[in-house]
Structures are given as structure tokens and as C-alpha cells.
């Protein structure tokens, strides 16, 4: 092979294929020629001789001069700039002739191989460690679940005995205080206080066990947030007033309703407000603010307490992290409250934080999104709920009323009273039915909010007493207030005009007040004899003439007729329901029977409904018939109530 040919091939290979840096530079270092590899590696434009050797090399400020480089015949190590900004080390030889120098550089293959092997090994080890970590994570999660299960079981099983100790210590203090010495009473009080605290702790532990095991199930409800906050503030009024601390509230009134879990959120408010009270000195105030910020509703609880040391703030929402700050009246803390609060807020997709300076008090903030991500069921509930009525804060001016609250639980009465105050009303209180009856004998009331569950005489008995001794038009508008121990129907049947379920909101009160006819009632203790029945208000349900006719001829027969009607009609309606499902052809006969009984008694509304059923030809379809049945049932209850009002 001739040498010129071989030289050509080599030049061509060097130019296009070889992974070697090639530069031809002049005496000033200007690059005159280069190969493809150098262009690709550096990403530089070598056309028009615009690059210098020093543009190619990475300069850390210690590069030798061009002369030194060219005159050094040994292999020199330099880094070159690359297009991907990862400098590469090359080993260079410089071949000088006249004013030109050929620069050739190559990587150390052995070094590259070692690097690759080390990287592969490092990658393997990192992946093996990740595997081990993931496995340990899974094991920790399983252990944590077992821990939570244990915590939950222990807390749950301990609650009963602790509860018994608490109740018995209370019982002993009440029953045996006269026979016990002061020291013995102190011991019993210590038992009571400690067991009460243990019960609190166990409740918190149970909460945490539930939350930690992912069982924080939120029952989201569309809630009027401002009213909700006000209610929660009023619940803390009593403990605040015991320490002479004022609870102030300010809010942006036009907040939309929020989807939240009222019970869980009540826990949040109770915790934050009671904490604020706990760490505040007497004669200070706590300010609770609610305002809108972007898509979030913000709540802040600001106290005038001693503030929290900066170092303790990061741990505040962790378990058992009580602060070094002392409560002002020796109140105890489980160290779990804020952790639970944090979890509940997170569950509502909100965030909680605190700003505090020692000596200047603390402000706890939390945010709740205006629209929580909802399930389809929640969305339906949202669509079905009617918009909240506007609260009329000057209602008392337009509709002045004398109001009596009857409840053995002072804090509950206090709460309703605060809500009534917001509507402009001042209510009077009675702590028992007996006291209320005395009060009603002395003063005139337009509306009475009557707790159902009271010791000695309950709300139902008191209502029955009122109806037995007074004409309907002298009995105030009666509102049953109940904690779900009795149904609305039972309350209405007993003679109540309205039914409210605890906890009661301001809208509930406003709605109840809206139904009161001013001046239609009120008695002043004047007893009215049973047979007077001067002006009963049977409404559109009964034909009084028919009843009066019976009464004149044979009062006993009338009583028997009424009891038969009251006893048999519900069964007949029930029978009608079954007949529709099983044998619709018998419907007319049954309706006729019911209609006949109603006509005998002058139960006009029921008669009308029976006629409607008979006239709907051909026999009414499923949904229409169901509506008739519903009407029939409602009209029966109304008729029954009217009859009871007439003392049957």
C-alpha cells in the first residue's frame, strides 16, 4: 500500500470517525482546522477561524501560556468544554512545526471503564438500599397500624372503669360530703379531677388512634359557617366568664355556606378557644375572626396570653408536645389537642398555623377551602338544600316578643339566649318546668322554648299540663327543644307548635319566631275549667258543628267515637298501603270505610282526601297514590292534634 494512500485514509478517519480531539493551531493559538468529533464534543463553531485553543479548554485560571504548552513534549491533561456542559478530561500531545502546532487529545479508556463499573455498582447498591427502605417502610406502617389498634383498644377499654371511678367519686362527694372530713373530701376531689383528666386523655387517644389509622371519616354538611362559629363561641362563654375573659367575634357576614363536618369542626373551635382561655390572664379578651381570603375562609383566634416561645412553635402540632407556658388557672392539657385539631383541618383540606410573640399573645390561624372536593352524594345534598335565609338582626324591633327559655342545662340556655340576643331579643330563663309554670303565671309570654328532657317534670308533661289547665288561645307558642330523644311528630301530637333539634342555629330561632302570631296567646295564670272549651282552634280539620251536636246529645258516645277514630284510623291507612301493593281492586272499599269513619266525626280534611282518592279514576298510579297516602297520614296527625287541643 502506498504511504500517500494510507495517509489519506488516516486523515479521513481522523476527520470523520475517530473519537480523538484534533486541532491545528497557529502561533497565536487560533484554530485553523479541526475534526468532526471536536466539533460535536465542544459544540463550538470553528468556521472562519474564530476560535482559539483557550476557547476549547476549561480555564480554572491556572492554564499555562501557549508557549509553555507547545514546548512541553510530555502528555498534558486538560479539560475541554462540552456542548452538554459536562467538562471532559483529555490527555493531549502537542506537535509543533514552524508556526503551526497539531493538537491531539484522547480520553483514558481504562479510567472510563472504571467509572462505568463504579457507577453501575453504586446504582445497584442504591437500588438495593431503596428496596430495603421500602420494605422497612411497609413494616413500619404495619407496626403503626398495630400500635393504633392497640391504642384504640386500650383507650376504649379503659374508658368504662375510669368513667365509673369519676361518677362514683362525684356521687360520694355529693352524697357523703356532710359525713366526710375536709381532708377526705380533698382526696375525693383529687380522685375526681384526676379521673376526669384521664377520661379526657383517653378520649384524645381514641381520636388519635382513629385518625392515625386513616379512619377520620368526615360527615360533610353544608353549614352556615358564621352562625356555626358564633354557636361555638357561645359554648365557651361560660368557662370564659368564669375567668373574666371576654370572647369577641368579628366576621365577614357574606360568607357562602361551607361543607364541613360540624362535630369535628366543633372540636377544632372548642380546642382553640378553650386553649386561648386557658393561657389568658383574667380581664383580657379573646378575638375570634372569620374572613375570606381568595378561595379560602380564614379563622383566627387571638389571645392576650403570654405567647409561645419560638423554639416550641414547630412542635406545637405534634403529639404530647405541651408548651412550657403555664395555664393561668392551673388547667391541664393532654398534649394531644392541637395534633387532633391539625389532623381535622388537614382532613378538610385546610391548613393551620400559629403566629406568636412572647409577651404579646398568640394568634392561631386556620384556613378552609370554600369548596371542598365533594362526592356526588354531597353535591346532591348541596343542590337540594335551599339557600340560607337572611338573618334579620333587628327582628325584635319589627316583631317584639316576650320569650321564656326553659332548660335545666344552663349552658344550653345561655347559648340560645346569645343567639336570641343577636336577633335583638332578651329572653327570660327558667331552670325547671315548675319554675317555668310559676313564671308563666306571673308574666305574659308569646313564645316558650321548652327543653324536652328535664328532671322532675319533662317538656311533654309540662305541655300536657298547660293544655289541661288553659284554653289553646291562652297558651303561648310552644317550641320543643330536643336532642333527638323524641320525634317531631310526637312533639306536635303533644301540642307543641314547633320542633327544634339541638344544636340550634340562629336560622332555626328566626324561623320559629316567624311562625308566632303576636297577641294570639299568653295567659296570666287564670285557670280555665276543662268543660269551658270556649274557643277551640280546630283549624280546617274538624267540623265543630258535628262535634257540638254529638256533645249535646251524648258526650260519652262522642268520647268513644273519638277514641275509636284515633285507635283505628292509623291501622286502616296502613291496610290501604298494603292493599295498593297486593290487591289494588280492594282500594275503593277501604277508602269508603275510612271516609265513613271520618264523616261520622266531622273530620273534614280527611274526608276531602278520601274523596280525592275515590275520584282519581282510573285508580291513581304509584307515586300519585303515595302522595295521597302521605296527605292522609299528615291530615290524620293534624286532626288528632286538633282533637287533643279540644281535650279529647
Q: Phi-psi bin for 634: left (phi > 0), alpha (psi -120 to 50), beta? A: alpha
Establish if 468 lies at the interface with other proteins (CB under 8 A). Answer: no
Alpha helices in 402-453 (DSSP H): 410-422, 433-442
Interface with other proteins (CB under 8 A), residue from 19, 68, 116, 252: 116
3-state secondary structure (DSSP) of residue 61: coil
Q: Phi-psi bin for 438: left (phi > 0), alpha (psi -120 to 50), beta? A: alpha
Binding window for other proteins (CB under 8 A); candidates: 39-47, 120-128, 362-370, 509-517: 120-128
Establish if 19 lies at the interface with other proteins (CB under 8 A). Answer: no
Rounded least distance, CB 112 to other proteins, Å: 10
Question: Can you spell out the DSSP letters for 335-391?
Answer: S-HHHHHHHHHHHTT-EEEEEEETTTEEEEEEEEESS----HHHHHHHHHSPPPPPP
Closest among 342, 317, 340, 337 to 327, alpha carbons compared = 337
Question: Can you spell out the DSSP letters for 100-131?
Answer: EEEEEEE--HHHHHHHHHHHHHHHHHHHHHHH
Binding window for other proteins (CB under 8 A); candidates: 116-124, 153-161, 253-261, 477-485: 116-124
Establish if 123 lies at the interface with other proteins (CB under 8 A). Answer: yes
Establish if 118 lies at the interface with other proteins (CB under 8 A). Answer: no
Q: Which is nearer to other proteins, 130 or 534 (CB)?
A: 130
Establish if 135 lies at the interface with other proteins (CB under 8 A). Answer: yes
Rounded least distance, CB 459 to other proteins, Å: 54
Establish if 137 lies at the interface with other proteins (CB under 8 A). Answer: yes
CB 525 within 8 A of CB 441: yes
Cell numbers at 105, concatenated: 487529545
Establish if 125 lies at the interface with other proteins (CB under 8 A). Answer: yes
Binding window for other proteins (CB under 8 A); candidates: 135-143, 155-163, 451-459, 629-637: 135-143
Establish if 124 lies at the interface with other proteins (CB under 8 A). Answer: yes
Rounded least distance, CB 22 to other proteins, Å: 24
Rounded least distance, CB 85 to other proteins, Å: 18
Number of residues engaging other proteins in binding (CB under 8 A): 17
Establish if 144 lies at the interface with other proteins (CB under 8 A). Answer: no
Radius of gyration of the chain (CA): 43
CA 95 – CA 90 distance, rounded (Å): 16
Q: Which is nearer to other proteins, 148 or 251 (CB)?
A: 148
Q: From the centroid of its chain, how far is CA 195?
A: 29
Q: Which is nearer to other proteins, 136 or 167 (CB)?
A: 136
Establish if 537 lies at the interface with other proteins (CB under 8 A). Answer: no
CA 353 – CA 236 distance, rounded (Å): 22
Q: Which is nearer to other proteins, 116 or 167 (CB)?
A: 116
Helix orientation angle between 337-347 and 182-212, rounded to the nearest 10 degrees = 30
Q: Which is nearer to other proteins, 124 or 241 (CB)?
A: 124
- β-bridge pairing 447-451 and 477-482: parallel
CB 336 within 8 A of CB 320: yes
Q: Which is nearer to other proteins, 127 or 568 (CB)?
A: 127
- β-bridge pairing 88-97 and 100-106: antiparallel
Rounded least distance, CB 146 to other proteins, Å: 12
H or E element: which one contains 447? strand 447-451
- What are φ and ψ of residue 614, in 5° steps? -65, -35
Rounded least distance, CB 129 to other proteins, Å: 10
Rounded least distance, CB 116 to other proteins, Å: 7
User: Binding marks (x or -) toward other proteins, 71..110, rule CB under 8 A?
Assistant: ----------------------------------------
Q: Phi-psi bin for 365: left (phi > 0), alpha (psi -120 to 50), beta? A: beta
Interface with other proteins (CB under 8 A), residue from 134, 315, 443, 559: 134
Establish if 143 lies at the interface with other proteins (CB under 8 A). Answer: no
Q: Which is nearer to other proteins, 82 or 593 (CB)?
A: 82
Interface with other proteins (CB under 8 A), residue from 127, 190, 293, 358: 127
Per-residue CA distances from 545 to 471, 572, 600, 616 (Å):
19, 25, 12, 29
Binding window for other proteins (CB under 8 A); candidates: 125-133, 268-276, 310-318, 324-332: 125-133
Interface with other proteins (CB under 8 A), residue from 128, 242, 250, 283: 128
The owner of cell 333527638 is 484
Binding window for other proteins (CB under 8 A); candidates: 60-68, 129-137, 286-294, 611-619: 129-137
Which residues bind to other proteins, rule: CB under 8 A?
116, 120-121, 123-125, 127-128, 130-132, 134-135, 137-139, 141
Amino acid at each position: 500500500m502506498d504511504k500517500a494512500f494510507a495517509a489519506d485514509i488516516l486523515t479521513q478517519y481522523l476527520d470523520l470517525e475517530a473519537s480523538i480531539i484534533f486541532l491545528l493551531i497557529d502561533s497565536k493559538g487560533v484554530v485553523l482546522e479541526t475534526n468532526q468529533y471536536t466539533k460535536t464534543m465542544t459544540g463550538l463553531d470553528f468556521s472562519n477561524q474564530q476560535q482559539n485553543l483557550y476557547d476549547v479548554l476549561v480555564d480554572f485560571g491556572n492554564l499555562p501560556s501557549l508557549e509553555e504548552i507547545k514546548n512541553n513534549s510530555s502528555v498534558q491533561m486538560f479539560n475541554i468544554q462540552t456542548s452538554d456542559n459536562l467538562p471532559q478530561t483529555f490527555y493531549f500531545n502537542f506537535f509543533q512545526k514552524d508556526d503551526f502546532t497539531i493538537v491531539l487529545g484522547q480520553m483514558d479508556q481504562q479510567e472510563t471503564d472504571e467509572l462505568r463499573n463504579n457507577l453501575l455498582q453504586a446504582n445497584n447498591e442504591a437500588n438495593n438500599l431503596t428496596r430495603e427502605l421500602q420494605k422497612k417502610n411497609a413494616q413500619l406502617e404495619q407496626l403503626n397500624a398495630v400500635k393504633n389498634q392497640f391504642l384504640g383498644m386500650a383507650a376504649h377499654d379503659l374508658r368504662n372503669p375510669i368513667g365509673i371511678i369519676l361518677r362514683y367519686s362525684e356521687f360520694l362527694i355529693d352524697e357523703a360530703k356532710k359525713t366526710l372530713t375536709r381532708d377526705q373530701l380533698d382526696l375525693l376531689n383529687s380522685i375526681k379531677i384526676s379521673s376526669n383528666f384521664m377520661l379526657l386523655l383517653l378520649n384524645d387517644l381514641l381520636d388519635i388512634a382513629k385518625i392515625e389509622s386513616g379512619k377520620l371519616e368526615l360527615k360533610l354538611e353544608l353549614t352556615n359557617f358564621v352562625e356555626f362559629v358564633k354557636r361555638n363561641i357561645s359554648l365557651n362563654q361560660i368557662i370564659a366568664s368564669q375567668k373574666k375573659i371576654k370572647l369577641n367575634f368579628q366576621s365577614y357576614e357574606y360568607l357562602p355556606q361551607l361543607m364541613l363536618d360540624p362535630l369535628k369542626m366543633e372540636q377544632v373551635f372548642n380546642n382553640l378557644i378553650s386553649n386561648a382561655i386557658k393561657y389568658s390572664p383574667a380581664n383580657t379578651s379573646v378575638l375570634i375572626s372569620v374572613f375570606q381570603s381568595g378561595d379560602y375562609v380564614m379563622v383566627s383566634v387571638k389571645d392576650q396570653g403570654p405567647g409561645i416561645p419560638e423554639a416550641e412553635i414547630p412542635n406545637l402540632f405534634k403529639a404530647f408536645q405541651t408548651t412550657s407556658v403555664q395555664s393561668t388557672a392551673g388547667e391541664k392539657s393532654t398534649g394531644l389537642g392541637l395534633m387532633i385539631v391539625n389532623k381535622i383541618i388537614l382532613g378538610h383540606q385546610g391548613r393551620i398555623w400559629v403566629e406568636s410573640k412572647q409577651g404579646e399573645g398568640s394568634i392561631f390561624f386556620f384556613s378552609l377551602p370554600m369548596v371542598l372536593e365533594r362526592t356526588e352524594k354531597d353535591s346532591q345534598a348541596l343542590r337540594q338544600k335551599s339557600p340560607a335565609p337572611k338573618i334579620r338582626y333587628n327582628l325584635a324591633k319589627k316583631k317584639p316578643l316576650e320569650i321564656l327559655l326553659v332548660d335545666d342545662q344552663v349552658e344550653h340556655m345561655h347559648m340560645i339566649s346569645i343567639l336570641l340576643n343577636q336577633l335583638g331579643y332578651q329572653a327570660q330563663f327558667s331552670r325547671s318546668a315548675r319554675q317555668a309554670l310559676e313564671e308563666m303565671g306571673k308574666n305574659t309570654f308569646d313564645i316558650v322554648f321548652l327543653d324536652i328532657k328535664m328532671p322532675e317534670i319533662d317538656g311533654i308533661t309540662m305541655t300536657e299540663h298547660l293544655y289541661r289547665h288553659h284554653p289553646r288561645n291562652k297558651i303561648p307558642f310552644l317550641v320543643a327543644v330536643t336532642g333527638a330523644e323524641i320525634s317531631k311528630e310526637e312533639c306536635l301530637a303533644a301540642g307543641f307548635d314547633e320542633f327544634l333539634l339541638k344544636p340550634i342555629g340562629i336560622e332555626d330561632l328566626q324561623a320559629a319566631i316567624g311562625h308566632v302570631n303576636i297577641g294570639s296567646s299568653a295567659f296570666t295564670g287564670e285557670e280555665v275549667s276543662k268543660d269551658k272549651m270556649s274557643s277551640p282552634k280546630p283549624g280546617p280539620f274538624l267540623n265543630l258543628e258535628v262535634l257540638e251536636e254529638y256533645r249535646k246529645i251524648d258526650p260519652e258516645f262522642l268520647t268513644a267515637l273519638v277514641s275509636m277514630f284515633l285507635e283505628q284510623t292509623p291501622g286502616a291507612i296502613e291496610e290501604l298501603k298494603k292493599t295498593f301493593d297486593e290487591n289494588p281492586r280492594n282500594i275503593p272499599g277501604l277508602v269508603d270505610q275510612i271516609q265513613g269513619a271520618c264523616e261520622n266525626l266531622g273530620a273534614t280534611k280527611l274526608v276531602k282526601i278520601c274523596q280525592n282518592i275515590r275520584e282519581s279514576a282510573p285508580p291513581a298510579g304509584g307515586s300519585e297514590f303515595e302522595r295521597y297516602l302521605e296527605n292522609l297520614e299528615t291530615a290524620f296527625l293534624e286532626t288528632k292534634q286538633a282533637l287533643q287541643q279540644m281535650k279529647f
